[in-house]
Amino acid sequence: SSELTQDPAVSVALGQTVRITCQGDSLRSYYASWYQQKPGQAPVLVIYGKNNRPSGIPDRFSGSSSGNTASLTITGAQAEDEADYYCNSRDSSGNRWVFGGGTKLTVL
């Protein structure tokens, strides 16, 4: 399968923990990467590989994977974390990339 499935919307209370998930057959073979996108801005990489954060990404962002599901967890969500989040991975062929449909995170 070349598809990655995400919940369209998730909400979290300020300071609480939220998990955003991404499902797809290719995730059994390849790690997902995660991108944060705020309105009018380009996406920003927040997690890649097993659980790697680029420089400058707060450590409240973490990643995990089990079977065909990858997860992005925000521990202690902040108001500035309100954004769209996209997962990305190679498809089962190994040489094409696919994005999930995106999850809109609302911080209450």
Partner 1 sequence: QVQLQESGPGLVKPSETLSLTCAVSGYSISSGYYWGWIRQPPGKGLEWIGSIYHSGSTYYNPSLKSRVTISVDTSKNQFSLKLSSVTAADTAVYYCARLWFGESDDAFDIWGQGTMVTVSS
86 forms part of the interface with partner 1 (CB under 8 A):
yes
Region near partner 1 per CB under 8 A, out of 11-19, 74-82, 89-97? 89-97
CB-CB contact of 11 with 56 (8 Å): no
User: CB atoms < 10 A from the CB of 63, how many?
Assistant: 23
68 binds partner 1 (CB under 8 A): no
Residue 23 contacts partner 1 per CB under 8 A = no
Name the residue nearer to partner 1 (CB basis): 19 or 96: 96
| Count of other CB atoms within 10 angstroms of residue 49 | 11
Side-chain-side CA neighbours of 61 within 13 Å: the count stands at 22
Interface contacts to partner 1, rule CB under 8 A: 29-31, 33, 35, 37, 42-45, 48-50, 54, 86, 88, 90, 95-102
